[in-house]
Structure 1
Amino acid sequence: MDDLLRRLRTGLPAEALITDPDVTASYAHDMASFCEAGTPAVVVLPRTVEQVQHVMRTATALRVPVVPQGARTGLSGGANASDGCIVLSLIRMDRILEINPVDRIAVVEPGVVNAALSRAVAEHGLSYPPDPSSWEMCTIGGNIGTASGGLCCVKYGVTAEYVLGLDVVLADGRLLTTGRRTAKGVAGYDLTRLFVGSEGSLGIVVRAVLALKPQPPAQLVLAAEFPSAAAACAAVCTIMERGHTPSLLELMDRTTVRAVNRLGNMGLPDTTEALLLAAFDTPDPAADLAAVGELCTAAGATQVVPAEDAAESELLLKARRMALPALETVSTATMIDDVCVPRSRLAEMLDGTAGIAERYDLTIGVCAHAGDGNTHPVVCFDHHDQDESRRARASFDAIMALGLELGGTITGEHGVGVLKRDWLARELGPVGVEIQQGIKRTFDPLGLLNPGKLF
Structure 2
Amino acid sequence: MSDIVALLRARLGDAVSIEPRDLDLARSDKSGQRTAHAPLAIVSARTVDDVQATMRIAYEQRVAVVPRGAGTGLSGGAMASRGEIVLSTTEMTRIVEIDEADQVAVVEPGILNGDLNRALEPLGLRWAPDPASRAISTVGGNIATNAGGLLCAKYGVTREAVLGLDVVLADGALMRLGHRTIKGVTGLDLTALMIGSEGTLGVIVGATLKLTPIPPGTVATIGAYFSSIEHAAAASAAITAARLRPAVMELVDELALASILQHLGLAARAPGSAHLLVQTDGDAAEDEARAALAIIAAHGGAASMTTDRVDGEAMLAVRRAMHPAMEALGTVLIEDVAVPRSRLADMFAAIRAIGERHGIAIATVAHAGDGNLHPNLVYTGDEVPDVVWAAAGELFEAALALGGTLTGEHGIGTLKRRWLADELGDDQVALQQRVKAAFDPRGILNPGKVF
Deviation at 1:239, TM superposition (A): 0.8
Match in the other structure for 1:449? 445
Q: Give the counterpart letter for 2:404 in structure 1.
A: G
Please say if residues 247 and 280 of structure 1, whose CA atoms lie closer than 8 Å, have aligned partners that are also in contact: yes
Please say if residues 41 and 86 of structure 1, whose CA atoms lie closer than 8 Å, have aligned partners that are also in contact: yes
Deviation at 1:216, TM superposition (A): 1.3
Please say if residues 27 and 35 of structure 2, whose CA atoms lie closer than 8 Å, have aligned partners that are also in contact: no
Is the aligned partner of 1:267 residue 2:263?
no
Is the aligned partner of 1:257 residue 2:257?
yes
Is the aligned partner of 1:76 residue 2:75?
yes
Distance in 2 between the 1:312 and 1:109 partners? 34
Deviation at 1:368, TM superposition (A): 0.5
Is the aligned partner of 1:433 residue 2:429?
yes
Distance in 2 between the 1:133 and 1:259 partners? 17
Distance in 2 between the 1:442 and 1:409 partners? 26
Distance in 1 between the 2:40 and 2:380 partners? 32
Q: Give the counterpart letter for 1:356 in structure 2.
A: I
Distance in 2 between the 1:86 and 1:263 partners? 38
Please say if residues 27 and 34 of structure 2, whose CA atoms lie closer than 8 Å, have aligned partners that are also in contact: no
Q: Give deviations 1:346-374, integer Å, cap 9, x for gaps.
A: 11110100111111111111111011000
What is the DSSP-based 3-state SS (H/G/I as helix, E as strand, rest coil) of the residue aligned with 1:11?
Answer: helix
Match in the other structure for 2:181? 182
Q: Give the counterpart letter for 1:154 in structure 2.
A: A
Deviates more, 1:20-29 or 1:285-294: 20-29
Deviation at 1:271, TM superposition (A): 3.6
Please say if residues 69 and 142 of structure 1, whose CA atoms lie closer than 8 Å, have aligned partners that are also in contact: yes
Distance in 2 between the 1:393 and 1:305 partners? 39
Q: Give deviations 1:34-60, integer Å, cap 9, x for gaps.
A: 453542111101111111111111001
Match in the other structure for 2:401? 405
Deviation at 1:230, TM superposition (A): 2.1
Match in the other structure for 2:248? 248
Distance in 2 between the 1:5 and 1:268 partners? 54
Distance in 1 between the 2:259 and 2:105 partners? 39
Match in the other structure for 1:355? 353
Deviation at 1:284, TM superposition (A): 4.3
Q: Superposed, which structure 2 residues align to 1:25-424 within 5 Å?
A: 25-217=24-216, 219-301=219-301, 303-329=302-328, 331-383=329-381, 389-424=385-420
Distance in 2 between the 1:6 and 1:193 partners? 36
Distance in 2 between the 1:113 and 1:350 partners? 33
What is the DSSP-based 3-state SS (H/G/I as helix, E as strand, rest coil) of the residue aligned with 2:109?
Answer: coil
Structure 1 unpaired stretches of 5+: none
Please say if residues 338 and 414 of structure 1, whose CA atoms lie closer than 8 Å, have aligned partners that are also in contact: yes
Distance 1:149 1:24, change over 3 A: same
Deviation at 1:227, TM superposition (A): 1.7
Distance 1:327 1:23, change over 3 A: closer
Q: Give the counterpart letter for 2:88 in structure 1.
A: S
Count of residues in correspondence between the two structures: 450
In angstroms, what is the RMSD of aligned CA positions? 1.6
Deviation at 1:272, TM superposition (A): 4.2
Please say if residues 26 and 38 of structure 2, whose CA atoms lie closer than 8 Å, have aligned partners that are also in contact: no
Please say if residues 252 and 275 of structure 2, whose CA atoms lie closer than 8 Å, have aligned partners that are also in contact: yes
Deviation at 1:300, TM superposition (A): 1.7
Q: Give the counterpart letter for 2:415 in structure 1.
A: L
Distance in 1 between the 2:24 and 2:272 partners? 44
Deviation at 1:183, TM superposition (A): 1.1
Distance in 1 between the 2:327 and 2:20 partners? 30
Please say if residues 216 and 281 of structure 1, whose CA atoms lie closer than 8 Å, have aligned partners that are also in contact: yes
Distance in 1 between the 2:418 and 2:154 partners? 32
Q: Give deviations 1:60-98, integer Å, cap 9, x for gaps.
A: 111100000000000111001031111000001111100
Distance in 2 between the 1:124 and 1:309 partners? 21
Structure 2 unpaired stretches of 5+: none
Distance in 2 between the 1:261 and 1:121 partners? 32
What is the DSSP-based 3-state SS (H/G/I as helix, E as strand, rest coil) of the residue aligned with 1:355?
Answer: helix
What is the DSSP-based 3-state SS (H/G/I as helix, E as strand, rest coil) of the residue aligned with 1:99?
Answer: strand
Please say if residues 35 and 76 of structure 1, whose CA atoms lie closer than 8 Å, have aligned partners that are also in contact: no
Distance in 2 between the 1:37 and 1:192 partners? 34
Normalising by structure 1, report the TM-score.
0.96
Match in the other structure for 2:21? 22
Please say if residues 219 and 307 of structure 2, whose CA atoms lie closer than 8 Å, have aligned partners that are also in contact: no
Task: Quote the sequence identity (%).
Answer: 44
Normalising by structure 2, report the TM-score.
0.96
Deviation at 1:130, TM superposition (A): 0.5
Distance in 2 between the 1:6 and 1:318 partners? 47
Distance in 1 between the 2:432 and 2:367 partners? 28
Please say if residues 225 and 272 of structure 1, whose CA atoms lie closer than 8 Å, have aligned partners that are also in contact: no
Distance in 2 between the 1:9 and 1:109 partners? 23
What is the DSSP-based 3-state SS (H/G/I as helix, E as strand, rest coil) of the residue aligned with 2:425?
Answer: helix
Distance in 1 between the 2:413 and 2:423 partners? 15
Distance in 2 between the 1:264 and 1:411 partners? 29
